Chain A
C-alpha cells in the first residue's frame, strides 16, 4: 500500500515539481519585501524555544542556528523514499554553493519521528548519507516539532505503522531565522536555489 502511495506521489511530483516550486518562490519574494519593514526578530522561526538534541547528542536551541543562512527540511530517518530524496536535493544545493560561502550556510534536518529517531538513529542517517560538518540533525518533543511544522508550513501525520505522511518542503532561512524561500516537491533546481542563497548572502 505504501508503494501505491509513493508511486502516485512520485509520478505526480516529478511531473509537476517545477511549476510548484516556482509558484511558492514567487509568493515568498513578496514576503521578503515586507520583512525589512517589520522587526525581523518577531518573524524569526527561532522563537520556538526549548532544547533539542543533535546527532552528536549535543543540547541545542534553535537560536543557535543564527548567523548562517539555513537550508531546512523536516524528515524521518526510516523514510523509504521522500526523505532520502529531499536530503539528496539539499546535498545537491550544498555542492552548488561557492567554496568561499560554505561557512556562511548551514543545513538542518528536523525529525518528525520523536519516538524512534534517537540520537544514534540521526547519527547513522548522517553517516549513511555522508552529511558533513555543516549539517545539523535535530530531535525535539512532539509539540516542538508540531509548532515548527506550523511555522514552516509543513503538513504531517503519523501513520499507524509508525511512518509519516508529510509534505516535502525545503525552506531557506536568513541569518535571523526569517523565511526567505520555500520549495515544495521533490526534484528541485539545486543550481537556481544555490544562486538565491548566494544573492541572499550579499
Chain B
C-alpha cells in the first residue's frame, strides 16, 4: 500500500509500504547515495510545445535528474533484487511480450553482455521503469521536466548555434535504430551536464499520457484548441518538428509497451 505516494509534488522521504499484490512494492534504496549520479536542474519558465490557448509558459520547479539513462547493468541489478520484474514473471498488464527481449534470459544479458552492460536499457515498460525508479528512491521525470532538461544546448556550443541541436535531433530521428545501441555517454553532454538527451534513445516520462491530442496529428489543432495559436505548431519552425516527433512518439505508447529504443532515466524532487 501507499505505493504511489511519491507524487509529482510530494517528498521522496515518504516511506514505502508493500503488500503482496502491489504494482510497485520495490523497497527504496537510500536516495542520498543515488544523488551522486544526478545533476540539479534549476527550474525556470518553460514554454511547452503543445501550447494551450490559456497557458503560455509553465514554471518548472528545480529537480534532480540522472546524468545518463539507466543501463542494462543497472536494470539487471534491479531485476535480480526484484525478481517479479524478471522477463518471464512480469504480467502482460505491466509489460508487453517484448519486455527485455534483448536479454538472454531472466537474469542474464547473454554473450553480448560486455556490449550491453553500459548501453541504455530498452524494451522496458512505463510500469517497469517506474518500479525501478521507486527502487532507487526516485521517480520518472515529468514530461515538462524532461523537455526542459532536454532543451539545453550541447555543452561548449555557442548559444546562437541552436539550429545545430535541432539538426542533430532530426538527423537521429530519421535513422532506424542500430542493431546494438551504443553505450550511454556516447553522444553529447548538454549544458546541465546531462548526457544523451537526444541521439541515443527515446525516454519514458511520468505523465507521457497527458496528451489528449488525437494521435491522428492532423486533428490536433481541432482537439487541442490550437486553431487560434496555430503558430505554435506551425511548420515554419523546424525545431517544432523535432518536438512534434517526440510528442507523436509518446502518443503511440501505452504504459505496458516496450520498444527497442525506448529507455528512461530517473528524476528526484529537490527538497
Asked if chains A and B are in direct contact (CB within 8 A), the reply is yes
Neighbouring B residues of A1 by C-beta, 8 Å: 53-54, 225, 228
Partner-A contacts on B (CB < 8 A): 1-10, 18-19, 21-23, 25, 52-55, 58, 91-93, 126-127, 130, 206-207, 209-212, 219, 222-225, 227-228, 254-255
Q: How far is the CB of B263 from chain A (nearest CB, A)?
A: 18
Cβ contact of B255, chosen from A44, A141, A150, A166, cutoff 8 A: A150
- Chain B residues lying within 8 Å of A140, measured Cβ to Cβ, are 4
Contact call A159/B19, Cβ cutoff below 8 A: no
Across the two chains, which residue of chain B brings its CB closest to A142?
B7
Report B-chain residues with C-beta under 8 Å of the C-beta of A165.
212, 224
Pairwise interchain contact A147-B5, C-beta atoms closer than 8 A: no
The range of chain A's interface size is 35 or more
A38 & B55 in contact (Cβ 8 Å cutoff):
no
Among candidates B5, B8, B9, B206, residue contacting A50 with C-beta atoms closer than 8 Å: B5
Which residues of B sit under 8 angstroms from A156, Cβ to Cβ? 209-210, 212
In the complex, A159 Cα to B5 Cα: how many Å? 22
Answer whether residue A160 sits at the interface, using C-beta atoms and an 8 A cutoff: yes
Inter-subunit contact A5/B225 (CB<8 Å): yes
A150: chain B residues at CB < 8 Å are 126-127, 209, 254-255
Supplied contacts A149-B209, A161-B54, 11 more A-B pairs, CB within 8 Å: A41-B21, A47-B21, A49-B3, A49-B4, A50-B3, A51-B2, A146-B4, A147-B4, A147-B23, A150-B255, A151-B255
Main secondary structure of the interface of B (DSSP, over half): loop
Determine whether A84 belongs to the interface, using a CB cutoff of 8 Å to chain B.
no
Q: State A5–B1 Cα separation when bound (angstroms).
A: 38
A122 CB to nearest B CB, Å: 19
Query: What is the CA–CA distance of A41 and B10 in the complex, to the nearest angstrom?
Result: 30
CB distance from B16 to the nearest CB of A (A): 10
Q: Give the chain B neighbours of A143 by CB distance below 8 A.
A: 4-8, 10
- The residue in A42, A45, A49 that gathers the most chain B C-beta atoms within 10 A of its C-beta is A49
Q: How far is the CA of A142 from the CA of B206 in the complex (A)?
A: 11
Given contacts A1-B53, A157-B211, A165-B212, contact A141 B1 (CB under 8 A): no
Q: Please judge, given known A-B contacts A49-B2, A143-B6, A147-B4, whether A155 and B225 are in contact too, CB under 8 Å.
A: no
- Please give me the residue from chain A that is nearest to B209 by CB atom: A155
Q: How far is the CA of A167 from the CA of B52 in the complex (A)?
A: 16
Could you say which residues of chain A place their CB within 8 Å of the CB of B209? 149-150, 153-156
When A47-B23, A147-B23, A166-B212 are in contact, do A159 and B52 touch as well, CB less than 8 Å?
yes
Q: List 26 A-B contacts (CB under 8 A).
A: A1-B225, A4-B227, A8-B223, A39-B91, A43-B93, A48-B4, A48-B23, A49-B18, A49-B21, A50-B4, A61-B1, A141-B5, A141-B7, A141-B10, A142-B8, A143-B5, A143-B7, A143-B10, A150-B127, A151-B93, A155-B210, A155-B211, A157-B207, A157-B210, A158-B210, A160-B55
Q: How far apart are A83's CB and chain B's nearest CB, in angstroms? A: 14
Distance in angstroms between the alpha carbons of A78 and B123 in the assembled complex: 39
CA distance A39 to B88 in the complex (A): 13
